[in-house]
């Protein structure tokens, strides 16, 4: 494999396998670019997930930010939403989350946030990349460097925010099984269990730096293998699985069924549209069409955007806060207006439990009311220079279908759709096809074959 | 100022002005080269009190971890303390983040091997090669080492070594009145505890707050120690000490408020050691001939080395020296403590000698052989150095020649030493003679020829 597969620099920021692709030079340069973009001396809040490489990366991030004249406040090992809330709670101008989310332990990454803990817009992400590539860093003079300090109160304040939105006492009747994947969710959930009376049964609770009990992916397959089989044993009302930095969630029903990763957003969209006032759902082109059907039933509308949190940030900025009911993706990443539009797996879990409580229905019962959609997802490693030709090829095969080129190619038929796009986080082409009813197997296979033929 | 002067990456390491020149990226890359060179294991990291120290400490830690070294942070510590701690704890190596006596806008990395010593010339060349080629070891997540903190034991380990070589009780009994100027440097707190608590001195200290900037020029030269001299007189002190920001250099004032010549301080230390432990002495080529006179009193031999602590230490090890140092730089190297310039060893030795003899500081200085010295510098154009040296040599036809570091012309009643600085684009001129007239004659002649 080429080095390219171990390092990915994109609008999402920096991501790679430490030692094989991701080096201190990348970390320092990216952080110095961010420090330069933020301008005059300010506060920057950082935190990391438990990966062993996180400590090395934190040192590099801190030095570059300090060299640019920014005071660095380190929250230690915390979830990404904790960092975003800490930014919003102070006059910090931005923040950096060090962690590779749902990826395996050998990976690490930097995620960047602006004021109020917001995701960078595509324009800001582009500016960051430009500064990174030009290496035109603006370092402060020797006597105006930033200072570094630790703040261990981040999780406590975050839980305080959760308590303002959710009624913990009302949720304590649910027995909930949670797979923490050895990540940061454990640090928050153990306190909700021990101090706030939630009936949580945590597995893989110990935070780990070098190896996770299993790949921390929030998809149906992982839930099926790791979490669902245990549900009945512990007599849980629901099961949840978090990625390492706890911005995503996956679920299992009380019957031990692994739920599609597409459905966390659908469930919460249904609930938020019902509660109002927002009537708009923001979701990317790869997310299930069930969302449109559920939204329509609630007289809401779905705004489709390109994949990625930068695009979500762009879209959010175009609406008044009260217009938006919810935003998210079919990956288990969901953000809600009550919680400052931060992708937050734990807030999503609490919102789903609250929904169950409000309706007086089990998770399985709520889900069984939705019509059946079947989605197929695939990926093919591909050299980038053949991608335009491939896209043209696929597009030419469906001259009469509805076409959307906002992010790669999405084609919509009456009862099905597909989306072919290049991943921002890995050098692969993603293929997604969905149909109301049974899986669109033939369509999916044909697309995969076509994509593979360009390999 | 030229770029060359604001950033210098050489076999001596990396040094430069922070804020555009000495960036965290360079510090990190240099630490990666160092970590690659010393290999996986513990590396000790300390720093002086410069404003850029914390920022560079993070960058260096990042580089060390990424190349597989566990980092042991000892916080603010004098350079000799870092060196002793490396040796005592059997670490792979150590890094002191300090630009020593350079102005506060500078910083640098001082690199030490497993014995807590500067790398020799060949090792430094190899390390620099690793840096230039970016040929770094890179560990992956599964093998990533961590960070340890030990903010307590380093000063204790250092002072324990120093105290083995003096009679602590007799120093304590005298309750000396001591003035101290710590330049708010790395030694500030440690020096106060050492002099006031360990050696029971009545301490009058200024500039011993490591959180404040340097209140004076960092190099402890007589002309910048006015406050200390006033303190000596006001508090009627027996002796005064001044350190540089990383606590390797020592300046000494006597009870009259006079700052002793650095060569005389070294001469006193040499005398102290040779009385008890006769053996070879090593000093650099610019150090006073007083060292030879004192060594002769004890029937000991003096060896000369090129200027630079690493050069002096190399020579000391090869000849088995019992004491050494660099006169003009205010550095006493006593290998029984550690092969490094160490202000704490110097302070302890002088107080011990005063306790032993009952002499005042000025009486001890007055017993030294009398020489007159003059140090100066001159700019020169690149490419002209050889011609200047030839002209100088031709101007003193009868002189004995030593070319190990620039040009030293040794005459019967004095000497002249001219060399290009390692750290600045200048020529350093030093001359010494028995009489002031002869000194002026030699120095003037050299100046005209250059």
User: In this predicted structure, what is the pLDDT of residue A2?
Assistant: 42
Cα–Cα distance, A250 to A217 (Å, whole number): 9
- The alpha carbon of A172 is separated from its chain's Cα centroid by a whole number of angstroms, namely 27
**pLDDT value for A1:** 39
3-state secondary structure B364-425: HHHCCCCCEEEEEEEECCCCCHHHHHHHHHHHCCCCEEECCCCEEEEECCEEEEEEECCCCC
Residues of chain A in contact with residue B105, where contact means CB-CB under 8 angstroms, are 141-143
Name the strands in the sheet holding A373-381, side by side, starting at the edge strand that comes first in the sequence. A373-381, A428-436, A416-422, A409-412, A402-404
CB neighbourhood size of A40 (10 A): 10
Strand order in the sheet with A238-242: A199-203, A175-179, A238-242, A249-252
| Tokens 């070879």 -> residue | B280
Of residues A166, A111, A26, the one with CA closest to residue B138: A26
Average pLDDT of span B346-368: 97
Q: Where are the alpha helices (DSSP H) in B67-204?
A: 79-88, 121-133, 153-163, 168-174, 188-192
- Residue B19: which of A55, A139, A211 has the nearest Cβ? A139
Residues 6+ apart with CB under 8 A from A445: none
CA atoms within 13 A on the CB side of B323: 28
Chain B residues whose CB is inside 8 A of the A103 CB are none
The pLDDT value given to residue A5 = 63
* pLDDT of amino acid B427: 87
Contact B55 A60 (CB under 8 A): no
Q: Is the dihedral of CA A280, A281, A284, A289 positive or negative?
A: negative
- CA B190 to centroid of chain Cα atoms: 17
Cβ-defined contact of A147 to B142 (cutoff 8 Å): no
Banded pLDDT at B45 (limits 50, 70, 90): very high
| Res A428: pLDDT | 87
Tell me the three state secondary structure of residue A439: coil
Alpha-carbon gap, residue B151 to B435, rounded angstroms: 50
Tokens representing A277 are 């006032």
Q: Report how far residue A38's alpha carbon sits from residue A71's, in angstroms, rounded to the nearest whole number.
A: 12
pLDDT of residue B6: 83
Question: How many residue pairs bridge chain A and chain B with CB atoms within 8 Å of each other?
Answer: 136
> Which tokens sit at B419?
């060399």
**DSSP-derived secondary structure for A108-126:** EEEEEE-GGGPBPPHHHHH
The mean pLDDT value of chain B amounts to 93
Tell me how crowded residue B306 is: count the other CB atoms within 10 A of its CB. 18
pLDDT of amino acid B234: 97
Distance CA B412, CA B183 (A): 40
Is B100 marked active-site?
A: yes
What are the CA-CA distances from residue B401 to residues B59, B281, B293, B407 (Å)?
46, 21, 20, 7
For B251, the 3-state DSSP assignment is strand
Spatial CA neighbour of A184 closest among A98, A106, A109, A77: A77
Q: Which residues of chain B make contact with A149, given a CB cutoff of 8 A? A: none
Whole-angstrom distance, CA of residue A255 vs CA of residue A180: 20
Sign of the CA dihedral running B140, B141, B145, B151: positive
Domains, in order of start, for chain A: 3-152 (3.40.120.10), 171-371 (3.40.120.10), 373-452 (3.30.310.50)
pLDDT digits (tens, 9 = 90+) for A144-159: 999 999 999 999 999 9
Q: Give the pLDDT score at B423.
A: 67
**What pLDDT sits at residue A338?**
82
Q: Do B28 and A60 touch (CB under 8 A)?
A: yes
The span from the CA of A445 to the CA of A377, in Å, is 10
d(C-alpha A110, C-alpha A28), whole Å: 11
CB-neighbour burial class of residue B114 (10 A; exposed 0-12, middle 13-18, buried 19+): middle
Whether the ω angle into residue A302 lies within 30 degrees of 0, i.e. cis, is no
Give the residue on B whose Cα is nearest the Cα of A212.
Answer: B142
Torsion sign over Cα A17, A23, A24, A30:
negative
Between CA B349 and CA B372 the distance in angstroms is: 25
Pairing relationship of beta strands A71-77 and B106-112 according to DSSP bridges: unpaired
- Above 80 in pLDDT, residue B396? yes
**Over the stretch A330-385, which tens digit does the pLDDT of each residue have?**
999 999 988 878 999 999 999 999 999 999 999 999 999 999 999 999 999 887 67
Question: Chain A partners of B23 at a C-beta cutoff of 8 Å?
Answer: 32, 67, 137, 139
Q: Which residues of chain A have pLDDT under 70?
A: 1-5, 384
| Cα separation, A332 vs A351, whole angstroms | 13
What does the alpha-carbon distance between residue A378 and residue A449 come to, in Å, rounded to a whole number?
A: 11
Interchain contact, A56 vs B51, CB within 8 Å: no
- Give the span between the Cα atoms of B188 and B196, in whole angstroms: 12
Which secondary structure element, helix H or strand E, spans residue A347, and what is its range? helix A345-359
Contacts of B66 (CB under 8 A, 6+ apart): A18, A19, A23, A24, A56, B32, B35, B136, B138, B139
pLDDT, residue A3, reads 41
Structure token pair of residue A88: 């919003």
Q: Which residues of chain A lie closer than 8 angstroms to B136, CB-CB? A: 23
**Cβ neighbours, 10 Å, residue B331:** 28
Residue B1 pLDDT > 70, yes or no? no
What pLDDT is stored for residue B384 in this prediction?
78
State the best of B15, B20, B24 to mutate against chain A, taking most chain A CBs within 10 Å. B24
Minimal Cβ distance to A145: which of B51, B63, B213: B51
Strands B147-149 and B69-76: what pairing?
Answer: parallel
Which of A60, A135, A212 to mutate to test binding with chain B, by most B CBs within 10 Å of its CB? A60
CA distance B432 to B443: 8
pLDDT > 80? residue B178: yes
Q: Give, as one character, the DSSP assignment of residue A5.
A: G
Sheet-wide strand order for A280-284: A301-305, A280-284, A324-328, A334-335
Give the C-alpha separation, A146 to A63, whole Å: 9
Give DSSP secondary structure letters for B94-109.
EEEE--TTS-TTEEEE
What is the predicted ipTM?
0.91
Q: Tell me which of A6, A20, A25 to substitute to probe the interface with B (most B C-beta atoms closer than 10 Å).
A: A25
| Kind and range of the H or E run holding A45 | strand A43-48
Rounded Cα distance between A337 and A57, Å, is 32
Which tokens belong to B423? 């750290």
| CB-CB neighbours of B192 under 10 Å | 16
- Output the DSSP codes for A222-267: HIIIIIHHHHHHHT-SEEEEE-TTSS-EEEE-TTSPBPPTTHHHHH
Tens-place pLDDT, residues B243-295: 999 999 999 999 999 999 999 999 999 999 999 999 999 999 999 999 999 99
pLDDT value, residue B4: 53
Residue among A221, A247, A294 nearest A49 (CA): A247
Domain architecture of chain B: domains with CATH? 3-151 (3.40.120.10), 157-366 (3.40.120.10), 372-449 (3.30.310.50)
Higher pLDDT, residue B310 or B5: B310
Q: Which of B66, B100, B188, B343 is catalytic?
A: B100
Distance from CA of B153 to the nearest CA of A (A): 24
Q: How many CB atoms lie within 10 A of CB B300?
A: 21
Q: Three-state SS for B450?
A: coil
- The helix (H) or strand (E) run that includes residue A200 is strand A199-203
Coil/strand/helix, residue B42 = strand
B79 closest CA partner among B16, B10, B20, B13: B13
Q: Helix axis angle, A345-359 relative to A154-165, nearest 10°? A: 20
Q: Is B231 exposed, middle or buried (0-12, 13-18, 19+ CB in 10 A)?
A: buried
| Residues above pLDDT 90, as percent of chain B | 81
Q: What is the 3-state secondary structure (H, E, C) of A255-279?
A: CCCECCCCHHHHHHHHHHHHHCCCC
């Amino acid at each position: 494999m080429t080095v390219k597969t171990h390092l990915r620099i994109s609008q999402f920021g920096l991501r790679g396998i430490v030692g094989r692709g991701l080096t201190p030079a990348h970390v320092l340069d990216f952080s110095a670019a961010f420090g330069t973009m933020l301008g005059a001396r300010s506060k920057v809040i950082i935190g990391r997930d438990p990966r062993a490489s996180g400590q090395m990366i934190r040192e590099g991030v801190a030095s570059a930010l300090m060299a640019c004249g920014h005071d660095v406040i380190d929250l230690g090992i915390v979830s990404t939403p904790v960092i975003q809330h800490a930014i919003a709670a102070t006059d910090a101008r931005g923040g950096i989350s060090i962690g590779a989310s749902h990826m395996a332990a050998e990976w690490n990454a930097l995620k960047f946030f602006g004021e109020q803990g917001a995701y960078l817009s595509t324009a800001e992400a582009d500016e960051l990349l430009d500064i990174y590539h030009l290496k035109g860093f603006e370092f402060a003079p020797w006597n105006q460097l930033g200072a570094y300090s630790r703040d261990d109160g981040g999780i406590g304040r975050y839980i305080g925010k959760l308590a303002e939105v959710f009624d913990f006492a009302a949720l304590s009747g649910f027995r909930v099984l949670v797979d923490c994947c050895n990540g940061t969710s454990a640090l928050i959930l153990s306190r909700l269990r021990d101090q706030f009376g939630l009936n949580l049964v945590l597995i893989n609770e110990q935070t780990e730096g070098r190896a996770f009990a299993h790949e921390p992916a929030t998809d149906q397959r992982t839930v099926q293998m790791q979490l669902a089989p245990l549900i009945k044993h512990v007599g849980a009302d629901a099961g949840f699985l978090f990625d390492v930095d706890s911005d995503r969630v996956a679920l299992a029903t009380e019957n031990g069924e692994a739920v599609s990763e597409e459905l966390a957003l659908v469930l919460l969209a249904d609930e938020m549209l019902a509660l109002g006032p927002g009537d708009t759902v923001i979701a990317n082109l790869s997310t299930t069409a069930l969302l449109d059907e559920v939204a329509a039933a609630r007289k809401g509308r779905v705004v489709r955007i390109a994949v990625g949190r930068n695009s979500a940030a762009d879209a959010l900025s175009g609406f008044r806060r009260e217009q938006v009911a919810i935003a998210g993706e079919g990956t288990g990443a969901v953000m809600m207006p009550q919680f400052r539009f931060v992708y937050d797996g734990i807030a999503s879990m609490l919102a789903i439990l609250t929904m169950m409580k409000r309706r007086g229905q089990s998770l399985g019962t709520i889900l069984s009311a939705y019509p059946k959609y079947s989605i197929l997802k695939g990926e093919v490693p591909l050299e980038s220079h053949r991608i335009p030709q491939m896209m043209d090829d696929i597009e030419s095969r469906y001259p009469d279908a509805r076409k959307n080129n906002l992010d790669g190619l999405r084609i919509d038929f009456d009862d099905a759709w597909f989306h072919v796009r290049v991943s921002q986080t890995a050098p692969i082409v993603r293929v997604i096809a969905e149909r109301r009813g049974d899986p669109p197997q033939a369509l999916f296979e044909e697309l995969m074959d076509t994509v593979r033929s360009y390999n | 100022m030229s770029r060359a002067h604001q950033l210098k990456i050489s076999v001596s390491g990396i040094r430069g002005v922070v804020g555009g020149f000495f960036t965290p990226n360079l510090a990190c890359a240099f630490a990666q080269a160092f970590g690659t060179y010393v290999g996986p294991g513990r590396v000790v990291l300390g720093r002086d009190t410069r404003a850029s120290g914390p920022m560079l400490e993070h960058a260096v830690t990042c580089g060390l971890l990424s190349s597989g070294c566990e980092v042991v942070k000892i916080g603010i510590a004098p350079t000799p303390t870092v060196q002793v701690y490396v040796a005592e704890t059997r670490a792979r190596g150590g890094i002191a983040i300090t630009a020593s006596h350079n102005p506060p806008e500078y910083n640098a990395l001082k690199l030490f091997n497993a014995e807590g010593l500067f790398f020799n010339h060949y090792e430094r060349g190899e390390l620099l090669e690793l840096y230039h080629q970016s040929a770094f070891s890179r560990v992956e997540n599964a093998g990533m080492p961590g960070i340890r903190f030990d903010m307590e034991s380093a000063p204790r380990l250092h002072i324990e070594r120093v105290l083995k070589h003096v009679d602590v009780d007799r120093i304590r009994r005298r309750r000396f009145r001591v003035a101290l100027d710590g330049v708010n440097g790395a030694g500030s707190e440690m020096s106060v505890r050492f002099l006031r608590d360990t050696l029971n001195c009545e301490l009058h200290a200024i500039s011993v707050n490591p959180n404040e900037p340097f209140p004076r020029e960092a190099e402890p030269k007589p002309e910048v120690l006015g406050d200390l001299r006033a303190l000596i007189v006001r508090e009627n002190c027996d002796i005064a000490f001044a350190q540089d920001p990383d606590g390797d250099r020592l300046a000494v004032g006597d009870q009259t408020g006079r700052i002793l010549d650095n060569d005389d301080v070294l001469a006193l230390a040499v005398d102290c050691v040779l009385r008890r432990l006769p053996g070879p002495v090593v000093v650099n080529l610019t150090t006073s001939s007083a060292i030879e006179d004192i060594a002769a009193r004890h029937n000991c031999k003096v060896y000369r080395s090129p200027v630079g602590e690493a050069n002096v230490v190399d020579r000391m090890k090869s000849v088995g020296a019992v004491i050494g140092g660099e006169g003009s730089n205010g550095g006493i190297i006593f290998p029984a403590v550690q092969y490094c310039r160490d202000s704490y060893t110097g302070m302890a030795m002088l107080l011990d000698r005063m306790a032993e003899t009952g002499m005042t500081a000025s009486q001890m200085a007055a017993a030294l052989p009398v020489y007159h010295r003059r140090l100066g510098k001159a700019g020169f154009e690149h490419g002209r150095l050889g011609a200047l040296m030839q002209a100088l040599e031709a101007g003193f036809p009868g002189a004995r020649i030593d070319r190990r570091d620039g040009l030293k012309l040794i005459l019967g009643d004095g000497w002249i030493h001219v060399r290009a600085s390692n750290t600045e684009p200048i020529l350093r001129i030093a001359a010494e003679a028995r009489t002031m007239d002869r000194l002026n004659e030699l120095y003037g002649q050299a100046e005209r020829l250059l």
